[in-house]
Amino acid sequence: MDKFRLDGKVAWITGATYGLGFAYAAALSQAGAKVVFNARHADAIARALDEYKELGIDAYGAVCDVTDEKQVELFVADVKERFGTIDILINNAGIIKRIPMTEMSVEEWNQVINIDLTGPFICSKAVIPDMIKKGGGKIINACSMMSELGRETVSAYAAAKGGLKMLTRNICSEYGKYNIQCNGIGPGYIATPQTAPLRKRGSDGSMHPFDRFIRSKTPAQRWGTPDDLCGLAVFLSSPASDFINGQIIYIDGGILAYIGQDPSNLDESKLKTVEEDSSVQVSDR
């Protein structure tokens, strides 16, 4: 089971002040890694550092926008100065804009593409040379259902996540010979701040239509939680996955395998929203 451990490794999780990134960082730390992270807002980083400390995690965090190559270069140099290397990169930072395509401005389109696709390119480019020098490394990209499927209002996000799937395969193709494994985590619908608008109950207390819809598309009839993804994040960061490369592993509760059922078949009395289900840990920061 030592193959699943990360002792002695330095892991950089981008966008880990809350949401999935925070969960990944906590899980990799529990598996033995030293975790470092970045995001755009100093106050959120300070709050996250306190929350990591409450979990007994000695994380390191600094302001760095993944779309700014200079900031990324400085962040990587800072981490190497402090901790010697970066063995694992999880390209987690991402945003979504839910706007009908014909109403989306080019600026809005570019903002999503820059963060969700160009950011992983910039961060991967910053760590691969040292991974080559030291004989290998792990890069994990935050893919999505939208790496495979489209839906209304998320054109830029789907284009970015589809592109990220192919960037994952291309890093595998170009750098696999250096013992660098690049894979993707493809979550389904997970309860985080990014998806909170899709779960918010109506003023009359009714379930959000999208909440009902996505449960009818998920065999488990529930949203995923960040904790559901942590085992896969540790696995893909560990020596246990050294011969897995270029794969997008979907962790979606079965969405991609299921045609779905009529949402009206769901008994709403049995369906709590994630925020109401005390058994579910929701990353609500």
Contact 16, 49 (CB under 8 A): no
Does 151 help bind ligand GCO (rule: CB under 6 A)?
yes
- Nearest by Cα to 95 from 69, 71, 72, 113: 113
Does 250 help bind ligand NAP (rule: CB under 6 A)?
no
Ramachandran region, residue 199 (left: φ > 0; alpha: ψ -120 to 50; beta: rest): alpha
Does 153 help bind ligand NAP (rule: CB under 6 A)?
no
Q: Report what 151 binds from ligand NAP, ligand GCO, none; CB cut-off 5-8 Å by kind.
A: ligand GCO
Q: Report what 98 binds from ligand GCO, ligand NAP, none; CB cut-off 5-8 Å by kind.
A: ligand GCO
> Nearer Cβ to ligand NAP, position 21 or 162?
21
Which two structure tokens, joined as six digits, stand for 234?
A: 């540790």
Q: Is 178 a catalytic residue?
A: no
What HEC string does 210-229 produce? HHHHHHHHCCCCCCECHHHH
Q: Which of residues 44-103 bind ligand NAP (CB under 6 A)?
A: 44, 65-67, 92-95
Return the H-helix or E-strand segment holding 90.
Answer: strand 88-91
CB burial readout 47-79, b (16+ within 10 A) else e: ebbebbeeeebebbbbebbbbebebbeebbeeb
Does 200 help bind ligand GCO (rule: CB under 6 A)?
no
User: Could you tell me the smallest distance in angstroms from the CB atom of residue 189 to ligand NAP?
Assistant: 5
What are the residues facing 181 on neighbouring strands?
138
User: Could you tell me the smallest distance in angstroms from the CB atom of residue 252 to ligand NAP?
Assistant: 9
Interface residues with ligand NAP (CB under 6 A) are 14-15, 17-21, 38-41, 44, 65-67, 92-95, 115, 119, 142, 144, 187, 189-190, 192-195
Catalytic residue numbers read 157
